Structure 1
Amino acid sequence: MNVSKLVEIYYAVDEFLIKFMPYMESHLLPTSDRKPTRTCSLILSEIMTILIAFHVIGFRNFKLYYIHLQQFHSNDFCKLVSYSRFISLVQRTVVPFYFFSQSLSKTRTGCYFMDSTAIKVCNIKRAYAHKVFKTIASKGKTTTGWFYGIKLNLIVNDLGEIMNFSLTTGKSNDRWPVENLCKNLIGKVFADKGYLSKELFEKLMGKGIELITQIRKNMKNAFMPIWDRLMLRKRSIIETIIDQLKNISQIEHSRHRSIPNFIVNLIAGITAYSLKEKKPAIDNIYTTGLQ
C-alpha cells in the first residue's frame, strides 16, 4: 500500500473531524448512562482512514486486509488493536462518516444523472432465513431480476461527482427519494423510464429542476431538444460509477453481521470513490449546450 495515499486520506479525514466533532458533541442529547472510561489506542481519524483505504487498494476480504496492515503498516498508526476490537469500533464512525462524505467537493454543474441499484444482502433463495437485515431489507425487482436487499439511490453530475445518495427498501418505488436527492440542486436531471411521473415532474419544476426521461412505448412522442436527447444517451456515466462502487469499492457483499457496519462500509466505499482524482466524466463538447 502506498503510504503517501494513507497520509493523504488521513489528513482529509482529520481536518474534517477537528471541526466537526466539537459541533456534534455540543448537539448530543444528555444521558444519565455511565460514560466509558476505557480509551482506545486508535483515534477516530485512524479508524476512518483504515476503512476508506480498504476500498482504495483492492482487497476483497477485510480481515485479510487488516492482518496486512498489522504486518506491514503497524508503524503508520498509533497502535493497531485486534481485529475483533476494531470491528466493534466501526459503529462509532457512522455519523462522522456520513457528514464527511457530504462535505467532499461537489460541483453544481446544472447537469445531473439519477439512478438506483440493488444492494443484495444475501441470495434471494435464503431470504426467509436471513436475520441481520430482516428489519430493513425486502424483495425487489430490477431489470436483471429479483433480489433480496436494499436499494441505493444516487444522483451524480457530469463530472462524475456523487451529489447525493439515499437508501430505501428493495421493494420501494424509485420515485420516492427523488425530491430529497435533488434538494438544493438546480438544472436538468436525466433518468430512465422508471422515474417518469407527471406529478413528480411538476413538483421538481417548481423547485427549478427539469426531470428528463425517455418516454414509454405506449406514449405519444414529444418534442425534445437535441441536447437533451444527447444527454439521455450519456446516462451510462452513472452506471459506470455504480459499477466502480460495487467492483472496486466493494459496497456490496453478504458478509455483514450488523446494520451499522453495513452502512459504514457503504459510505466508506462512496467516500473512497469521491476522493479519487480521476472519475468518469462527460466531455465538455456535450455539456456546453446545457449551460
Structure 2
Amino acid sequence: MKITQIYCDVDDFCRTFIPEWQKLQLIQGDKKRQRAPRMSYSEMLSILVYYQESGYRTFKWFYQRLVQVSWREAFPKLLSYNRFIELLPRLLVPLTAFMLSRCGNSQGIAFIDSTPLAVCKNIRIPRHKTFKEQAGRGKSSTGWFYGFKLHLVVNDRGEILSFCITPGNVDDRKPVPKLVKSLIGKLFGDRGYISKKLGKQLAERNIKLVTTLKKNMKNQHIDAFDKLMLRKRSIIETINDQLKNIFDLEHSRHRSLYNYLANVVACLVAYSYQEKKPALDLRDADLLPFLVNA
C-alpha cells in the first residue's frame, strides 16, 4: 500500500465530503473561533491510515521517526506530534465516512462475526480509568475480557460490508438488524446468532440467517450449499486475525476514546487497501451448480 494512492483517494473524497459536513454541523451557545488546521484533512487522514500497516508499534514512533524525518517534502505543512494528536478527534467523522464509502457490495452471500477488543489485562480492570464509562466485561470463546467488540459483516471476497463497535457486554445479536440494512441473500454466522426472533426479523427483509447448531439442539435439514458455506465461515475469523496481527487493531496503549475509535476505523480502512484479501473461490466449476440452486 502506497501513501500516494491513499492520499489521492482520501483527497478526492474529502473535496466533496468536508464542505457538506461542515455545513451540517450544529453550533451551540456563543460563537467560538475554530481555526483551520495547517495540514489538510486529506494529509492527516492519509498519515493515520498508513500507520496501521507500517509495522511501527506506537504512533508516536511512527510520526517522529518516519513522518517527521522522511516525509517533510511530501507534507510541507507538517504539524508537531502533540498538535496532530490534539486534532485526532476532528478526524473521526470523516475517517468513518471514508470507510463507509470503501465498503463492498452484497452479492447474496455474507458472513457475520464479532471479535473482542480488550483494552487491558483482566488483572488490571479495577485500575483501568480511560474507558471506565464505555467499556464492558464480556466473554468470548477464549475467555473473559474487558473492553469492546468489533462486529463485522463481510462477503465471500473478503470485503467488509458493514461494521460497528459496541461495549464488550453487548449480545452479538443486538446490532445485527442495523448491520444488515443493505444486505440481500444469505447470512452465515456461528452459534451466538441463534434466535428465532432474529431469524423472523431478517426473513421479513428477504435475508436468510444460517447458523451452526448447538450440541443440545436437534438436527435440522440444511441445504448442501449452506453446509459448505458454514464450513467456510472461517474466512471472517481470518480477517479478524489479520486486523489484530497485521494492522495493530488491539492494544492497551490508548488514552482517549476518540483516538481509540479513530485507530479502529483506520485499521478497517488500511485493510480495505490490502491487495490480496481472504476470499472464497465460488466461481469454481464444481460450485456453480450449488450457486445456481441456492
- Structure 1 match to 2:14: 17
1:290, distance to aligned residue in structure 2 (A)? 3.3
The question of 1:108 aligning with 2:106 is answered yes
Aligned residues: 288
- The answer to whether the 8 A contact 1:213-1:232 is kept is yes
The question of 1:249 aligning with 2:247 is answered yes
- Structure 2 match to 1:226: 224
TM-score (normalised: structure 1) = 0.95
1:180-259 maps to which residues of 2 (within 5 A)?
A: 180-259=178-257
The unaligned stretches of length 5 or more in structure 2 are none
Tell me the distance in 2 between the aligned counterparts of 1:253 and 1:130: 14
Tell me the distance in 1 between the aligned counterparts of 2:281 and 2:153: 18
CA 1:116/1:105 → structure 2, altered by over 3 Å: closer, same or farther?
closer
The alignment partner of 2:53 has SS state of helix
- Structure 1 match to 2:291: 290
1:34, distance to aligned residue in structure 2 (A)? 3.7
Q: Is 45-54 or 18-27 further displaced after alignment?
A: 18-27
The alignment partner of 1:199 has SS state of helix
- The answer to whether the 8 A contact 1:186-1:208 is kept is yes
The alignment partner of 2:117 has SS state of strand
1:37, distance to aligned residue in structure 2 (A)? 5.4
1:15 partner amino acid: D
Q: Is 25-34 or 256-265 further displaced after alignment?
A: 25-34
1:122 partner amino acid: C
CA offsets, 1:129-160, max 9 Å, x none?
Answer: 11111111011111101111001111000000
- Structure 1 match to 2:119: 121
- Structure 2 match to 1:160: 158
- The answer to whether the 8 A contact 2:103-2:160 is kept is no
- The answer to whether the 8 A contact 2:115-2:240 is kept is yes
CA 1:244/1:33 → structure 2, altered by over 3 Å: closer, same or farther?
farther
- The answer to whether the 8 A contact 1:140-1:170 is kept is yes
CA 1:39/1:183 → structure 2, altered by over 3 Å: closer, same or farther?
closer
Percent identical: 47
Q: Is 279-288 or 175-184 further displaced after alignment?
A: 279-288
TM-score (normalised: structure 2) = 0.94
Tell me the distance in 1 between the aligned counterparts of 2:95 and 2:76: 21
- The answer to whether the 8 A contact 1:162-1:274 is kept is yes
1:277, distance to aligned residue in structure 2 (A)? 2.1
- The answer to whether the 8 A contact 2:3-2:50 is kept is yes
The alignment partner of 1:249 has SS state of coil
1:287, distance to aligned residue in structure 2 (A)? 6.2
1:26, distance to aligned residue in structure 2 (A)? 1.9
Tell me the distance in 2 between the aligned counterparts of 1:171 and 1:40: 38
1:74-89 maps to which residues of 2 (within 5 A)?
A: 74-89=72-87
CA offsets, 1:256-281, max 9 Å, x none?
Answer: 11100000000000001012222110
1:31 partner amino acid: Q
1:191 partner amino acid: G
- Structure 2 match to 1:148: 146
- Structure 2 match to 1:268: 266
- The answer to whether the 8 A contact 1:41-1:78 is kept is no
Tell me the distance in 2 between the aligned counterparts of 1:53 and 1:192: 33
2:43 partner amino acid: E
Q: What RMSD, in angstroms, separates the aligned Cα atoms of the two structures?
A: 1.4
Tell me the distance in 1 between the aligned counterparts of 2:275 and 2:74: 23
1:39, distance to aligned residue in structure 2 (A)? 3.9
The alignment partner of 1:74 has SS state of coil
1:220, distance to aligned residue in structure 2 (A)? 1.2
The question of 1:50 aligning with 2:51 is answered no
